[in-house]
Structure 1
Amino acid sequence: MANPDRFLSITKPITHVIFDMDGLLLDTEKFCNEVQEIILGRYNKSFDWNVKVKMLGKKALEAARIFVGETGISEFLSAEQFLIDREDMLQALFPKSELMPGAGRLMRHLHAKGIPICLATSSHKRHFEVKTQRHRELFSLLHHVVLGDDFEVKHGKPSPDIFLAAAKRFEDGQIDPCNILVFEDSPSGVLAEALNNVVSCLNIDELEYDVELINVWWLGLLLWSLIQGWIKVFRSYRIRF
């Protein structure tokens, strides 16, 4: 197994940055939740956070299968039909997407400092276009964008496919993975709004060969989020760190 210390620590200068999008740069998760609640309401069901966690970061059809299966509506609604039923509602809501606090400032700062930035999002092209239509200028700062329906992304997160594709498309050629910083708000999404967004150094190269390392990273991300949450609690009681 790869050395997790190497994986979780940042020991080299950061030269390139990869961003996730939904819930990190754009406040879009609330729209998905709203639409899913509407659909479940037709069957007297409600949307459970545990189901959301399993769906986050997955490709559309995979997430849809989890949704209809975990909520117990698969006998009434197929995953494919769920995607069709939700589409008009999402198309109406996504153009209203707002930037998450500080997202624009961070992207502009990195761009101004000459640090190449790119996007690795599970959103497919059609949704990406409507989500970002009010923020074209900001997203034009990205060196490139890798979407969930990209030909190189065979599997959704936590598979490293999307990060591997994003990393190799920087014009600098082969980049040491330890020089790449990945901004991801959740392990395949996890913890989302409950705790602070997390900045992690994702060792992309090793992820391609070591499946166990994926779990190490998600576990490290979870533990770091919990630590940050407790620090906030202690600070509220004026305990210094």
Structure 2
Amino acid sequence: MSALKQIKKVSHVIFDMDGVLLDTEIIYKKAIQSIAGRFGKMYTPQIQGKVIGTVERESSRIAVEMMKLPISVDKFQIEFRTTAHQQMHNVAMMPGAEQLVKHLYEHKIPIAVATSSSLASFELKTAKHKAFFALFNHIVCGGSDPEVRKGKPCPDIFLVCAERFKDKPLAEKCLVFEDAPNGVAAALKAGMQVVMIPDENVPAEMLIEAPIKINRLEEAPLELFGLPPLKS
């Protein structure tokens, strides 16, 4: 059965944050490459595809192990956090993010954010965009939320996020916007539908699992899911 035939109408929308709403992935990429470069290692697209979408601790473990870096995961995480957070105070919005979110908000579609960031990291990245993030019903920060026991690609964060909507929708009634293979896998395991906006550094072979892919949020095919279509 084709992906289009499997599509069902949804009532709620969940967004990943990094690489979907905020343009942070380039900052993470530069931070990891700067550490790897000191040891003559390259942060390749294959490794990036594994790292994107994971919580900070898991990102650090994957980077250290896959690049065989001669430092501990603890030391890598501290340096990674310090380097990346120095640039997080001035993060830009991703193209189309404001238009799509405001459109859903104005049509009274329940919306939420499910990010692998910790609450402290979320507050740092969103400092310039408080009015925008106030549009969401709730935010789940998987890096520090005690109810999110396992990070992406496990489904925990999306299941917790759905449970926190007042009307507690069924998983199949939730549409997720993701940029990372780990996030897509997590949403599908949760029983949700997914639209992927692939990060440009993710290898093509890692995008197979995503049933629907778009280049920008302005292209979101909302009408396929029974949602009010975006105005052109």
State the SS of the aligned residue for 1:18: strand
CA–CA separation in structure 1 for the residues paired with 2:183 and 2:27? 16
- Matching of residues 152-163 of structure 1 within 5 Å: 152-163=147-158
- After TM superposition, the score normalised by the length of structure 2 is 0.77
- Name the count of aligned residue pairs: 199
**1:13-54, CA deviations, whole angstroms, 9 ceiling, x for partnerless residues?**
x21110001111110000011111111121122211111111
**1:142-162, CA deviations, whole angstroms, 9 ceiling, x for partnerless residues?**
101111221111111111000
Residue equivalent to 1:171: 166
State the SS of the aligned residue for 1:62: helix
Deviation of 1:220 (Å): 3.9
1:116 matched to 2:116: no
Residue equivalent to 1:215: none
Deviation of 1:6 (Å): 9.3
CA–CA separation in structure 2 for the residues paired with 1:47 and 1:107? 32
Structure 1 unaligned runs (5+)?
Answer: 191-200, 208-217, 229-241
Residue equivalent to 2:47: 51
Deviation of 1:7 (Å): 10
CA–CA separation in structure 1 for the residues paired with 2:102 and 2:213? 25
Alpha carbons of structure 1 residues 99 and 202: separation in structure 2 relative to 1, 3 Å: same
Alpha carbons of structure 1 residues 157 and 119: separation in structure 2 relative to 1, 3 Å: same
**1:174-201, CA deviations, whole angstroms, 9 ceiling, x for partnerless residues?**
x1222211111222158xxxxxxxxxx8
Q: Which residue identity is paired with 2:8?
A: T
Structure 2 unaligned runs (5+)?
Answer: 194-206, 216-232
CA–CA separation in structure 2 for the residues paired with 1:69 and 1:36? 13
Deviation of 1:137 (Å): 0.3
CA–CA separation in structure 2 for the residues paired with 1:54 and 1:225? 18
State the SS of the aligned residue for 1:98: coil
State the SS of the aligned residue for 2:175: strand
Q: Which residue identity is paired with 2:71?
A: L
Residue equivalent to 2:71: 77
**1:205-228, CA deviations, whole angstroms, 9 ceiling, x for partnerless residues?**
589xxxxxxxxxx7441x6449x8
CA–CA separation in structure 2 for the residues paired with 1:169 and 1:38? 38
**1:114-154, CA deviations, whole angstroms, 9 ceiling, x for partnerless residues?**
01100001111121111111110000011011112211111
CA–CA separation in structure 2 for the residues paired with 1:31 and 1:126? 17
1:23 matched to 2:9: no
State the SS of the aligned residue for 2:182: coil
Q: Percent identity?
A: 38
User: Of the candidates 201, 204, 207, which is equivalent to residue 190 of structure 2?
Assistant: 204
User: Of the candidates 101, 105, 108, which is equivalent to residue 107 of structure 1?
Assistant: 101
User: Of the candidates 23, 28, 37, which is equivalent to residue 41 of structure 1?
Assistant: 37
